[in-house]
Amino acid sequence: MVPGEQSSLAIPSLTAPRKMTSMDSPLAHHLAGNQIASSSAYQSYQRQRQLTLGDLLLENRIVFLQGEIHVGNANELVMKLLYLQSENRRKDIHFYINSPGGSVTATLAIYDTMQILSCPVATYCVGEACSGAAVLLVGGTKGKRFCLPNSRVMMHQPMGGVGGQVSDIEIQAAEMFRYRDVLNKIISNHSGQSVEKIAADTDRDFFLGAEEAKEYGLVDDILTKPPAQVEDEDE
Active site residues: 131, 156
Q: Cβ atoms within 10 A of the Cβ of 84, count?
A: 23
Strand segments (E) across the chain: 62-66, 93-99, 121-130, 145-147, 152-155, 206-209, 221-222
Q: Are 84 and 103 in contact (CB under 8 A)?
A: no
Contact of 162 with 168, CB cutoff 8 Å: yes
Residue type, 86: S
How buried is residue 182: exposed, middle or buried, by Cβ count under 10 Å (0-12/13-18/19+)?
Answer: middle
Q: Are 35 and 67 in contact (CB under 8 A)?
A: no
DSSP code at position 17: P
Query: Read out DSSP for 86-106?
Result: HH-SSSPEEEEEEE--B-HHH
